[in-house]
Structure 1
Amino acid sequence: MGFGAGSGVSSRAGSTVMRVLLCLVAATTLSLQAGAAEAQTAAESWPNRAITWVVPFGAGGVTDLVSRKIAELLRTRLGQPVVVENRPGAGGTIGTEFVARAQPDGYTVLYASGGPMTIQPNLGLTKLNYDPLKSYVHVRGVSSANQILVATAAAPYSTLAEFVAYAKANPGKVNFGSPGPGTAQHLAGEMFQAAAGIRLTHVPYKAGSSQMTDMMSGILDVSFDYLTVLRPLIDTGKVKVLGTTGTARLAALPDAPTVLEAGYPDAVNVGSTWVSVPAGTDPRIVGRLSEALAAALADPAIVADLTANGQVSIADKGPTQLEPFIVEETARYKRVIESAGIAAR
């Protein structure tokens, strides 16, 4: 009889536990359904407030200026303000990391670039708290830009062929400047000397203004940099253009041959920018943002602006094209960095 009484108590206790569990399951299911419905509503109504467009570089540069023009076009197409927020520092990694940690709701977007995404991860930075692939959804390409190889006006060479011949005859005596170790400009120099079989001496600078001053005075022999930086010196004849690091000539410098034309395919070095959002962003939001960006980047004013600054639109690269592109670029820069023994700044 004791056994039977105990069994009854156990049965009632079991029933109570089962009812509690069923209630918890039901509550959880309702909560998940409500969350899914809320997420769907949020995605369908996006955007219904201002979007923050993070530029991981300082105000006033070409990246900032182009981003502001695109942001204005996006405002028109999306019907909400797109506010540019500059978060410079640490080679662009501070602003890039900020977006990785933002809510994946489509209201924080990143004007991404190759430096923080494909170069910095190879420099052994222990404080790099984002993964270029896992931390983001890459939405739409913006532009690519060749670097320009320029020489001081008094240099005894005026073409790529003459420069290579001179450098081979004077190993280590020709120097080239950059904004610092591991920068895109530094890597361009390393890639070119390896491809051409020459030996140059790298001179890193902390301030680009000092580098250009030394170029004009003849202290520096050559430099690799972007057209937006070099245009004033080129237009005033203070430096002369030897070539570009792209695969096709720039419309802004039609007479400047490419390293590919010169027979140095391994020296091709093109910097790219694109738009990314935090990982986990709803695909419907990503799709709408991608479409709006594609339309904005097709605007004649943006195309003309990119062309004038030595850039080419890569708006044809959507999410499926950008990820393998980033993987390939990261692997390429890793080879260059390891080969040259470049350490982080």
Structure 2
Amino acid sequence: MIVECTAAGLSGRPAGTVTRALLCLVAATTLVLQAGNAAAQTAAESWPNRAITWVVPFGAGGVTDLVSRKIAELLRTRLGQPVVVENRPGAGGTIGTEFVARAQPDGYTVLYASGGPMTIQPNLGMAKLNYDPLKSYVHIRGVSSANQILVATAAAPYSTLAEFVAYAKANPGKVNFGSPGPGTAQHLAGEMFQAAAGIKLTHVPYKSGSSQMTDMMSGILDVSFDYLAVLRPLIDTGKVKVLGTTGAARLAALPDAPTVLEAGYPDAVSVGSTWVSVPAGTDPRIVGRLSEALAAVLADPGIAADLATNGQVSIADKGPAEMGPFIVEETARYKRVIESAGIAAH
């Protein structure tokens, strides 16, 4: 049926005018929606045609930032558009993570996501977060996972995991371990290990990693859990000794360091992960293109070498279908240890 929607078409026709007006409104709305859909389709098909903002929710210079910049540079070459790294640190990574959740879902704001803001912080007070780790994003592809390293002061009377556990059992509460603060991945690694090993350690939180490492070298701290990128200088100079790692498999960078799994503590396995996400509602065609580009970039030998040097391994095999269940599993695992240890938000 053809309906005249001009002023002339409606004038002088009182009967059915309301019906015609409604039909005209429906027709106009349909045209607008069709135009919008066509524009969205064109935008998705032409993506990317301008610079992409690559948000890192931590400060510049850290291992997360350095690795992500190399990935961003390879993506620039792959996609043919600038990929501009933007550091948005603060509140344990939640500020930058929230920023991306609120961004336009057009594929031009991308998050270099990590477990802290996505799987730990939600368990420390979900009401304080203005994003949902599952509903606010499309998680595109995994990047890396990293074991933590358990190190002791050079003068410690134990040099292996078995010796350390035996000493801690004989001296309950007298052995302390440091972390960058309550609820951090390093703190949770210590809580998981002492629960799995049946020992009692005393947690000493710090406001900065540098002061924590200073106390490690001076012997004020007995042991610490942290990542290889942080501990490497101390390990290489003999200022601390490696007792083991928190992973399920040995690190290529520390082939002689046993894992907590080997030592018989599967519940102490703890790894920190990173991946790439975009705001929820991003067109599936954009998600697909970015996922494919990331898979190609992460297969680059240079990226693999950088990850290995920093004690990380690739998890690029986890695509959009695998990332959701992975985050659910990690969140549930951290929830158990946080509730068991009675850790509160700070």
Q: TM-score, normalised by structure 2?
A: 0.96
User: Residue by residue, what CA displacement relative to the aligned partner does 1:229-248 show, whole Å, maximum 9, x if unpaired?
Assistant: 00000000000000000000
Q: Distance in 2 between matches of 1:199 and 1:6?
A: 83
1:306–1:313 CA contact under 8 A, matched in 2: yes
1:122–1:334 CA contact under 8 A, matched in 2: yes
Q: Distance in 2 between matches of 1:288 and 1:10?
A: 52
Q: Distance in 1 between matches of 2:344 and 2:319?
A: 33
Q: Against the structure 1 CA distance between its residues 30 and 210, is the aligned structure 2 distance closer, same or farther, given a 3 Å change threshold?
A: same
Q: Against the structure 1 CA distance between its residues 90 and 13, is the aligned structure 2 distance closer, same or farther, given a 3 Å change threshold?
A: same
2:261–2:268 CA contact under 8 A, matched in 1: yes
1:178–1:185 CA contact under 8 A, matched in 2: yes
SS of corresponding position for 1:148: strand
Deviation at 1:6, TM superposition (A): 24
Deviation at 1:72, TM superposition (A): 0.6
2:10–2:20 CA contact under 8 A, matched in 1: no
2:58–2:88 CA contact under 8 A, matched in 1: yes
Q: Distance in 2 between matches of 1:264 and 1:26?
A: 66
1:125–1:344 CA contact under 8 A, matched in 2: no
Q: Does residue 1:320 correspond to 2:287, yes or no?
A: no
SS of corresponding position for 2:112: strand
1:55–1:88 CA contact under 8 A, matched in 2: yes
Q: Distance in 2 between matches of 1:14 and 1:70?
A: 66
Question: Gaps spanning 5+ residues in structure 2: where?
Answer: 1-5
User: Residue by residue, what CA displacement relative to the aligned partner does 1:159-211 show, whole Å, maximum 9, x if unpaired?
Assistant: 00000000000000000000000000000000000000000000000011100
User: Residue by residue, what CA displacement relative to the aligned partner does 1:33-52 show, whole Å, maximum 9, x if unpaired?
Assistant: 10000000000000000000
2:10–2:17 CA contact under 8 A, matched in 1: no
SS of corresponding position for 1:14: coil
Q: Distance in 2 between matches of 1:137 and 1:260?
A: 32
Q: Distance in 1 between matches of 2:82 and 2:9?
A: 67
SS of corresponding position for 1:224: strand
Alignment of 1:111-150 (within 5 A): 111-124=112-125, 126-150=127-151
Q: Distance in 1 between matches of 2:127 and 2:327?
A: 20
User: Residue by residue, what CA displacement relative to the aligned partner does 1:131-150 show, whole Å, maximum 9, x if unpaired?
Assistant: 00000000010000000000
Question: Gaps spanning 5+ residues in structure 1: where?
Answer: none
Counterpart position of 1:52: 53
Q: Against the structure 1 CA distance between its residues 11 and 265, is the aligned structure 2 distance closer, same or farther, given a 3 Å change threshold?
A: farther
Deviation at 1:124, TM superposition (A): 1.2
Q: Distance in 2 between matches of 1:77 and 1:128?
A: 34
Q: Against the structure 1 CA distance between its residues 167 and 108, is the aligned structure 2 distance closer, same or farther, given a 3 Å change threshold?
A: same
1:151–1:241 CA contact under 8 A, matched in 2: yes
Deviation at 1:126, TM superposition (A): 3.6
Counterpart position of 1:263: 264
Q: Report how many aligned residue pairs link the two structures.
A: 341
SS of corresponding position for 2:93: helix
SS of corresponding position for 2:13: helix
Q: Against the structure 1 CA distance between its residues 33 and 159, is the aligned structure 2 distance closer, same or farther, given a 3 Å change threshold?
A: same
